[in-house]
Amino acid sequence: MILPDFSSRLIAWQKQYGRHHFPWQTDDAYCVWLSEIMLQQTQTVTVAEYYPRFWAAFPTVRDLAAAEQEQVLALWAGLGYYSRARNLHKAARQIVAEFGGTFPQRRTELEKLCGVGRSTAAAIVAFAFRQRETILDGNVKRVLCRVFARDGNPADKHFERQLWLLAESLLPENGDDMPAYTQGLMDLGATVCTRSKPVCEMCPMNDVCQARKEGRIGELPRKKTPLAIKQQTVFWLLLQRDDGAVWLQKRPQKGIWAGLYCLPESDSAKGLAEYAGNFAVQAADWEELPAIWHRLTHRLLEIIPFYVRVPCSERLPEKVTGQWVLPAKLPETGMPKPLQSLLENGLRVTHNICG
């Protein structure tokens, strides 16, 4: 099916019914890039909360490049998928080192940045530089599969290439229309052509949508085969000094919550008890706190935390790595969301001061 007025329909609809209130809706490439990375696998309402704080701390790509990774992770804490934050920081340094602090205006150049794929690069050049490049995220794939009744395995690379070709064929001729067109694709998939309960009567394509005509709205696009979710149990030790400080360790640069600060962790209570021996505390002194369940992409974590007080005077062996962090410093320390929640509910109020 050929639909020559797809872009004009979409642009007109977006201007009248689309979303226009987000702080990142600008032609500043840095702002667009920042928002696009944040919006990956994260709901818009959540990004709308994090974006202003992040941008206030790092208003330019040079500011972000000059920051320490810990500062970046601290402001990202709670958004999840922390590799995005690490790649964002690396890419900022790439832009400064390789492009003189100026965003390249070609999609292929942007794709060289850490964490930037074809769709993200296309969004940047479309919004910031009005380049005729198409995005193809999950929302856009859903719109195309329904409007044009494209049926295929979402994991099949050949089918995905077909969708890229289709998306490219629909681009408006005028580059100045690219911001409205690109935002329209995002808005249509996010607010009208939703995965469940689409609002077809509000869609600018409802009279030409092939899936609607064929009664296949619920069938297209085909769902990906869900991956098996593995359950894993880990044990945390929440050590708190008399002055309220908490013992935290920086996690490795690879793996879950890489680069963030966390509590001492073990996959067994015995391993945790052995570690606790460095602080001269016995398992009998521990208080078991309510278990925490945390869902990762392909894993369900059961976190069993234990709480124990440690005297200020306790000296630690040199082999023990970590640091004491006072309560006032915890909000600016990058840590995973479940630890944030635990500390908000699990810390004991104290008035003692360690000398």
What confidence score (pLDDT) does residue 353 get? 55
Q: How far apart are CA 105 and CA 92, in angstroms?
A: 15
Q: Does domain 230-346 have CATH number 3.90.79.10?
A: yes
Is the pLDDT score of 43 beyond 90?
Answer: yes
Query: Given the DSSP bridges, would you call strands 230-241 and 299-310 parallel, antiparallel or unpaired?
Result: parallel
What confidence score (pLDDT) does residue 308 get? 94
Helical spans, DSSP H, in the chain:
6-17, 29-39, 44-57, 61-66, 69-76, 83-99, 107-110, 118-129, 138-147, 157-169, 178-187, 210-213, 269-276, 337-346
- Two tokens, residue 317: 């062996």
Return residue ranges of the chain for CATH 1.10.340.30: 6-213
Active site residue 36: yes
Q: Which of 187-191, 266-270, 311-315, 349-353 has the highest mean pLDDT?
A: 187-191
- Two tokens, residue 10: 């979409």
Residue range 300-330, pLDDT digits in tens: 999 999 999 998 876 788 888 999 999 999 9
Q: Considering the candidates 36, 98, 111, 168, report the single residue annotated as catalytic.
A: 36
Q: Is 307 helix (H, G, I), strand (E, B) or coil?
A: strand
CATH of domain 6-213: 1.10.340.30
